[in-house]
Structure 1
Amino acid sequence: MLFGENRDPYLEHPGSLWLLHWMLAGKPGRATVWHWAFNEFHEPTFDRELMRRRLHRRCDELSESGRLGKERTISDITIRRDVECLVRTYFALPGGARRAPEDSIECPLAELGLIQKAGVGELYRFRRGPKSSLPDEVFLFALLDFWRTYYAARKSFSVDFLTFERGSPGQVFLLDEEAVAERLVRLDALTDGAVRWDESSGMRQLYGHKLESIDEWGLLRAMYDRDLRRGAA
Structure 2
Amino acid sequence: MLDCKQKQYQEIRLEAFQYPLKFNPKQVSFGRHETFPIRYGWLSKGFQALMENPKIFNDDNATVTLGVGKNMVSAIHYWLQAAQLIQQQQDKQWQATPIGKKLFAKADNAWDPYLEDEASLWLIHWLIASNPVKATSIFWFFNRFHKHQFDEAELLNALKIFVQSQIKGKRAASTLKIDVSVILRMYAPSMNERGGLSEEALDSPLANLKLLYRDGKKFFTTPEARNIPYSILGFAIAELFQAQPHISGINLRDLIHSEGIWPAPAAVFRISEAHLLNLLEELTANYPMLYELRDSAGIHQLYRKCQLNELLPEQFLQHHYASLENAA
- Report if TM-score (shorter chain) is over 0.5: yes
CA shift, 1:97, in A, is 6.7
Contact 1:39 1:172 in 2 (8 A): yes
Contact 1:23 1:30 in 2 (8 A): no
Contact 1:113 1:127 in 2 (8 A): no
Please tell me the residue identity of whatever aligns with 2:149. Answer: T
Residues 190, 53 of structure 1: CA spacing in aligned structure 2 closer, same or farther, 3 A cutoff?
same
Q: Deviations over 1:146-199 (max 9, x none)?
A: 2221x3212222322211134121121112111111122222333342211123
My pick for the range that moved more, 161-170 or 193-202, is: 193-202
- For 2:231 and 2:197, locate their aligned partners in 1 and report how far apart those are by CA, in whole Å: 38
Contact 2:190 2:198 in 1 (8 A): no
- For 1:98 and 1:144, locate their aligned partners in 2 and report how far apart those are by CA, in whole Å: 39
Q: Deviations over 1:24-70 (max 9, x none)?
A: 1113112000000011111221111111111112112235xxx3xxx
Please tell me the residue identity of whatever aligns with 2:278. Answer: E
User: Which residue of 2 is the match for residue 116 of structure 1?
Assistant: 213
CA RMSD of aligned residues (A): 2.4
Please tell me the residue identity of whatever aligns with 1:173. Answer: F
CA shift, 1:228, in A, is 4.0
2:238 is equivalent to residue 144 of structure 1: yes
Moved segments of 4+, more than 3 Å: 95-101, 199-203
Residues 62, 161 of structure 1: CA spacing in aligned structure 2 closer, same or farther, 3 A cutoff?
closer
Q: Secondary structure at the match of 2:293?
A: strand
2:145 is equivalent to residue 38 of structure 1: no
- For 1:100 and 1:137, locate their aligned partners in 2 and report how far apart those are by CA, in whole Å: 32
User: Which residue of 1 is the match for residue 97 of structure 2?
Assistant: none
2:251 is equivalent to residue 158 of structure 1: yes
2:294 is equivalent to residue 198 of structure 1: yes
Pick from 9, 12, 26: which aligns with 2:113? 9
Q: How does 1:74-153 map to 2 (within 5 A)?
A: 74-94=171-191, 96=194, 103=200, 105-117=202-214, 120-132=215-227, 134-149=228-243, 151-153=244-246
- For 1:59 and 1:129, locate their aligned partners in 2 and report how far apart those are by CA, in whole Å: 29
- For 1:217 and 1:56, locate their aligned partners in 2 and report how far apart those are by CA, in whole Å: 36
Q: Deviations over 1:132-151 (max 9, x none)?
A: 2x1111101001112221x3
Please tell me the residue identity of whatever aligns with 1:138. Answer: I
- For 1:59 and 1:163, locate their aligned partners in 2 and report how far apart those are by CA, in whole Å: 24
User: Which residue of 1 is the match for residue 83 of structure 2?
Assistant: none
Please tell me the residue identity of whatever aligns with 2:246. Answer: A
Please tell me the residue identity of whatever aligns with 1:142. Answer: A
Pick from 133, 148, 159: which aligns with 1:55? 159
My pick for the range that moved more, 196-205 or 85-94, is: 196-205
2:272 is equivalent to residue 168 of structure 1: no
2:131 is equivalent to residue 27 of structure 1: yes
Contact 1:92 1:106 in 2 (8 A): no
Residues 19, 100 of structure 1: CA spacing in aligned structure 2 closer, same or farther, 3 A cutoff?
closer
Residues 155, 90 of structure 1: CA spacing in aligned structure 2 closer, same or farther, 3 A cutoff?
same
- For 2:314 and 2:264, locate their aligned partners in 1 and report how far apart those are by CA, in whole Å: 19
User: Which residue of 1 is the match for residue 79 of structure 2?
Assistant: none
Percent same amino acid among aligned pairs?
25
Contact 2:149 2:218 in 1 (8 A): yes
- For 2:312 and 2:251, locate their aligned partners in 1 and report how far apart those are by CA, in whole Å: 23
Runs of 5+ unmatched residues, structure 1 = none
Runs of 5+ unmatched residues, structure 2 = 1-101
Please give the TM-score of this superposition, normalised by the length of structure 2: 0.61
- For 2:197 and 2:299, locate their aligned partners in 1 and report how far apart those are by CA, in whole Å: 52
Please tell me the residue identity of whatever aligns with 2:240. Answer: F
